[in-house]
Structure 1
Amino acid sequence: MRKVNNSVFIFILFLSQFTFAQDSLKISSSEFISVVKNYHPLAIKYQLQNKIAKEEITQARGGFDPVLAAKLGEKNIDGTRYYEQKNIEIGIPTWYGIDIHGSYNHLEGDKLNASDTRGGLYQFGVTIPLAKNLLYDKRRAMLDQAKFALKMTEAEQIVLTNDLLLDAENTYWEWVQNYEIYKLKSEIVDINRKRLDFTRKTLDFGEIPAIDTIEALSQLQSFELQQQDAFLNFVKSTQQLQLFLWKDNQQIYELTEMIYPSDGLENHLAYSDFEFLINEVESQELNSHSSILFYNQKQNILESEKRLKWQSFLPKIDFTYNFFNKEGYSADYIPFFDNNFQYGLKLEIPIFQREARANYEIAKIKLHQNILDTQIKTRELDVKIETYKNEILNFHTQIDLSRNNLQNYRKLLNAEETRYGIGESSLFLINSRENKVIDAQEKYISIRTKFLKSFNKLKWLKENFLVTSIN
């Protein structure tokens, strides 16, 4: 089906290649970029990645959620009720690694353990880490890292989206270039058809030799071949443009009619704004570029991981205290270690600390690697900015030179046509001058396209500095 649609599209283009209908579908670069930004699947995918990162923060906060549990049980053998138990409890983790818990337990039976308490019993307790996990633990690390990851994802999304828009916009201007070259070839074909008709009429009056008609026909046929080749390039670039065109709900946008650019290479704000853009980019701090912010947030994640790994060097000393109160009795809280209490002290010390040392060293190495990556990316951005700036300035100079060169070739062609009209030149020389004009005009179009593409590179690179959403 896809191949059939493409074939229909090419057939429509072929039928319309010799006319430029005024009612044909046209699209400007701004409209095209708006479609890509709002409907292209990759742009939507990057936005969804941000939503995933936000949900991961919520997921990490789940480590601090209170937990409510209940238990109901009974054991009865041969008519003997060993026990009947009802229990409900709640655990509340806190930010500083301290766990608070409370419960109510009701226990009855004929075969209870000596340490069990018959009847209803209320319990309130706390577990406090005295060394490892007191200042930092896995729950806090996961939440910190999720927050850093969101900022990291937002920075990455900005860069990826702008790369997509750069690719789309440059594809648009390549499409415009191929369209203008096709128009140029079509205009030249029309001129040479008129020239052939004029030559044949002039031959009928016996004013020129017959060989001139062969010269005019050969020139026309050469340009007709070039026109067909230009048309094929226009078709190919239109299909490349179609790859960026999507409808709402990410449905493929199938072109069923001719489509032309409404923007041309001649009129673009880049020709007047390029110096302002260069100055604006050069005034930016590289550290505020999204690519650098990505690595900075990654550094924060790795710092958090290093801090967590350092906790493994500390001995695990957990102190637990529980206060009890039997149902139906008045509570007696103070002193804490006088009555109705339970406490425990648990100590764990890895002897060789090999796992802790290895994990901590790995965390430090990853930090160093990220610092190196940041330095490389900073240098890469610096070189890109300088390269794009030089390209813009160079191509802008080439535009002026190419324009002057084209004007000179046109003057030579006009002069040759004047000489031909008074019998002092030949059709061969006119054709030679005309070929030079066409080559110069194609070069002029190509340089303008290169200028706009370099301008777009710097423009979308500048957009990566606009990261107020993650400051």
Structure 2
Amino acid sequence: MKKANKVLFVLIFLLFQSGFAQDSLKISANEFISVVKSYHPLALKYRLQNKMAEAEITRARGNFDPVLAGKLGEKNIGGTRYYEQRNAALEIPTWYGVEVTGSYNYLDGEKLDPSDTRGGLYQFGVTVPLAKNLLYDKRRALLDQAKFAQKMTEAEQAVLTNDLLLEAENTYWEWVQNYEVYKLKSEIVNINRERLKLTKKTFEYGEKPAIDTVEALSQLQSFELQQQDAFLNFVKSTRQLQLFLWKENRQFYELSQMIYPADGLSRHPAYSDFEFLIDDVESRQINTHFSVLYYRQKQNILESERRLKWQSFLPKIDFTYNFFNKENYRADYLPLFDNNFQYGLKLEIPVFQREARANYQMAKIKLMQNELDTDVKRRELNVKIETYKSEILNYHTQISLSENNLQNYRRLLYAEETRYSNGESSLFLINSRENKVIEAQEKFISIRTKFLKSFNKLKWMRENFLYNTANPE
């Protein structure tokens, strides 16, 4: 098994090496983010969550749908027709708790109840809550809460989507970093191979001692090991990048060949745009951040629940009035309480109100808890913004210092090579200087990557702010 893995690694390495000389598949950061946004399963899941919230609103509106009912029946025992009935009814609930009904009822038979009306009867009625459920009821609460929940979902899914894109973009730039480190190690290996050849020739000509060939070979072997390690890191980061690559129909993108970044660490607009980004984020109001809007919409839901619980303190007084008219009779609508009517008044008053008091108290506590969560989230966002700003500014300064440091090490290496050509130095000192240059170059690449990752954190945080701040609710 170890031998097979070693052979596979060598084959991959050879394929990768040959890729430099051939046309290879390249992907830019913008192309990569576009693919993630369009095809990643989590991005699709978040969009489906928004559709589910829209369906919740439709379901809540269903509580206001008119209800059409019908009934047909007959009872006959031993030749005696007890009754025959045909009923059709329409019930229309309205926004303010008032229910309007209309029906046609036909009843006939030999065993009817004395209170039943024989023949066809038209009925129009209305039920009005006079206290509880007049200003607010469960149907209105469910619809309001569904609307607030939709805004909550939109805010939450926007944050989750941008977090996904941030992770994806930072993975891309880590991939670029590993690629540039591998290219650096490959260049150094090539340089040291040429140096070894030159050292061997100078030894053959008797100009340099044999120990210099050993020194050059040891340096080459050290860099070859580093090159192998850098290549492995690049392959591993390519696999991490592949986790974000999906195709249509939720198919995972299988790599048939090595891919390479089309963008480099040195060619990024962040180096010139970071100050504008900082000013832009500082100008945003923290209350327009989607995470805060999420809690504010949750506050609206809890407030709706509080209003609904408060209705439980009110007595339930429902007034019902029905107007009747027999089939084929001329209707006399007025006066309402003179003929052909029915009315009722229903009263319910809980004596101790224990359940109402407990429910209302819990609703108020939930409101206070959510306010505390909102304050914590505001503080957390402010700290993140300040942290990202400090990182950007600090890494930008480090880039300048690291670049100057790298240039100085290069000058020292060049000077050492000049002294060596004049016979005043040794290959050991050149290798030592060269190691410092490589170390400084790797540090320079690392700091650039950290700067871009911090820039991305602030950039995607900006995307979490509501652009239209006229009505953040």
TM bucket normalised to smaller = over 0.9
Q: What is aligned with 1:464?
A: 464
- Letter in structure 2 aligned against 1:197: K
Corresponding residue SS for 2:384: helix
Corresponding residue SS for 1:88: strand
- Letter in structure 2 aligned against 1:18: Q
Q: What is aligned with 1:17?
A: 16
- Letter in structure 2 aligned against 1:246: W
- Letter in structure 1 aligned against 2:97: G
> In 2, Cα distance between the equivalents of 1:52 and 1:125?
37
Q: Check the 8 A contact 1:152/1:297 in 2, yes or no.
A: yes
Q: Say yes or no: does 1:348 pair with 2:355.
A: no
Q: Note the C-alpha offset of 1:140.
A: 0.4
> In 2, Cα distance between the equivalents of 1:308 and 1:188?
73
Q: Check the 8 A contact 2:16/2:258 in 1, yes or no.
A: no
Q: What is aligned with 1:207?
A: 207
Residues 347-391 of structure 1, C-alpha deviations (whole Å, 9 max, x = no match)? 111111111111111110110011001000000010000000000
Q: What is aligned with 1:282?
A: 282
Q: Check the 8 A contact 2:162/2:463 in 1, yes or no.
A: yes
- Letter in structure 2 aligned against 1:434: E
- Letter in structure 2 aligned against 1:326: K
Corresponding residue SS for 2:266: coil
Q: Check the 8 A contact 2:99/2:126 in 1, yes or no.
A: yes
Q: What is aligned with 2:198?
A: 198
Q: Check the 8 A contact 1:145/1:304 in 2, yes or no.
A: yes
> In 1, Cα distance between the equivalents of 2:412 and 2:316?
91
Q: Check the 8 A contact 1:18/1:186 in 2, yes or no.
A: no
> In 1, Cα distance between the equivalents of 2:13 and 2:335?
97
Q: Note the C-alpha offset of 1:81.
A: 0.4
Q: Say yes or no: does 1:150 pair with 2:121.
A: no
> In 2, Cα distance between the equivalents of 1:446 and 1:365?
49
- In structure 2, the CA distance between the partners of 1:55 and 1:75, relative to structure 1 (3 Å rule), is same
Q: What is aligned with 2:294?
A: 294
Q: Say yes or no: does 1:169 pair with 2:135.
A: no
- In structure 2, the CA distance between the partners of 1:184 and 1:427, relative to structure 1 (3 Å rule), is same
Q: What is aligned with 2:31?
A: 31
- In structure 2, the CA distance between the partners of 1:259 and 1:393, relative to structure 1 (3 Å rule), is same
- Letter in structure 1 aligned against 2:194: K
Corresponding residue SS for 2:17: coil
Q: Check the 8 A contact 1:9/1:255 in 2, yes or no.
A: no
Q: What is aligned with 2:238?
A: 238
Displacement over 6 Å in runs of 4+: 6-12
Q: Note the C-alpha offset of 1:157.
A: 1.1
Q: Note the C-alpha offset of 1:8.
A: 12
Q: What is aligned with 1:429?
A: 429
Q: What is aligned with 1:379?
A: 379
Q: Note the C-alpha offset of 1:7.
A: 11
- In structure 2, the CA distance between the partners of 1:98 and 1:413, relative to structure 1 (3 Å rule), is same
> In 1, Cα distance between the equivalents of 2:99 and 2:10?
73
- Letter in structure 1 aligned against 2:72: L
> In 2, Cα distance between the equivalents of 1:129 and 1:428?
97
- Letter in structure 1 aligned against 2:83: Y
- Letter in structure 1 aligned against 2:272: S
**Residues 303-314 of structure 1 aligned to structure 2 (within 5 Å):** 303-314=303-314
Q: Note the C-alpha offset of 1:18.
A: 2.7
Q: Note the C-alpha offset of 1:15.
A: 2.1
Q: What is aligned with 1:444?
A: 444
Corresponding residue SS for 1:416: helix
> In 2, Cα distance between the equivalents of 1:171 and 1:160?
17
Q: Note the C-alpha offset of 1:13.
A: 3.7
Q: Note the C-alpha offset of 1:466.
A: 3.4
What is the TM-score with the length of structure 2 in the denominator? 0.97
Corresponding residue SS for 2:453: helix
- In structure 2, the CA distance between the partners of 1:144 and 1:118, relative to structure 1 (3 Å rule), is same
Q: Check the 8 A contact 1:74/1:85 in 2, yes or no.
A: yes
What is the TM-score with the length of structure 1 in the denominator? 0.97
> In 2, Cα distance between the equivalents of 1:424 and 1:305?
86
**Residues 361-380 of structure 1 aligned to structure 2 (within 5 Å):** 361-380=361-380
Q: Note the C-alpha offset of 1:305.
A: 0.5
Q: What is aligned with 2:140?
A: 140
Q: Note the C-alpha offset of 1:468.
A: 4.1
> In 2, Cα distance between the equivalents of 1:399 and 1:369?
45
Residues 68-127 of structure 1, C-alpha deviations (whole Å, 9 max, x = no match)? 000001111111000000000000000000000010000010000000000000000000
Identity %: 78
Q: Unaligned 5+ residue runs, structure 1?
A: 1-5
Q: What is aligned with 2:248?
A: 248
Residues 197-234 of structure 1, C-alpha deviations (whole Å, 9 max, x = no match)? 11111110111111111111111111000000000000
Q: Note the C-alpha offset of 1:9.
A: 9.6
- Letter in structure 2 aligned against 1:236: K
Q: Note the C-alpha offset of 1:21.
A: 3.3
Count of residue correspondences: 466
Q: Check the 8 A contact 1:41/1:250 in 2, yes or no.
A: yes
> In 1, Cα distance between the equivalents of 2:405 and 2:15?
33
> In 2, Cα distance between the equivalents of 1:109 and 1:46?
61
Q: What is aligned with 2:270?
A: 270
Corresponding residue SS for 1:34: helix
- In structure 2, the CA distance between the partners of 1:112 and 1:346, relative to structure 1 (3 Å rule), is same
Q: What is aligned with 1:420?
A: 420
> In 2, Cα distance between the equivalents of 1:358 and 1:41?
43
- In structure 2, the CA distance between the partners of 1:354 and 1:7, relative to structure 1 (3 Å rule), is farther
> In 2, Cα distance between the equivalents of 1:132 and 1:236?
65
Corresponding residue SS for 1:17: helix
Q: What is aligned with 1:3?
A: none
Q: Note the C-alpha offset of 1:11.
A: 7.0
- In structure 2, the CA distance between the partners of 1:91 and 1:9, relative to structure 1 (3 Å rule), is farther
> In 2, Cα distance between the equivalents of 1:115 and 1:13?
93
Corresponding residue SS for 2:322: strand
Corresponding residue SS for 1:18: helix
Q: Check the 8 A contact 2:321/2:344 in 1, yes or no.
A: yes
Q: Say yes or no: does 1:48 pair with 2:45.
A: no
Residues 131-166 of structure 1, C-alpha deviations (whole Å, 9 max, x = no match)? 000000000001111111111111111101100000
Q: Check the 8 A contact 1:86/1:106 in 2, yes or no.
A: yes
> In 2, Cα distance between the equivalents of 1:109 and 1:238?
84
- In structure 2, the CA distance between the partners of 1:8 and 1:81, relative to structure 1 (3 Å rule), is farther
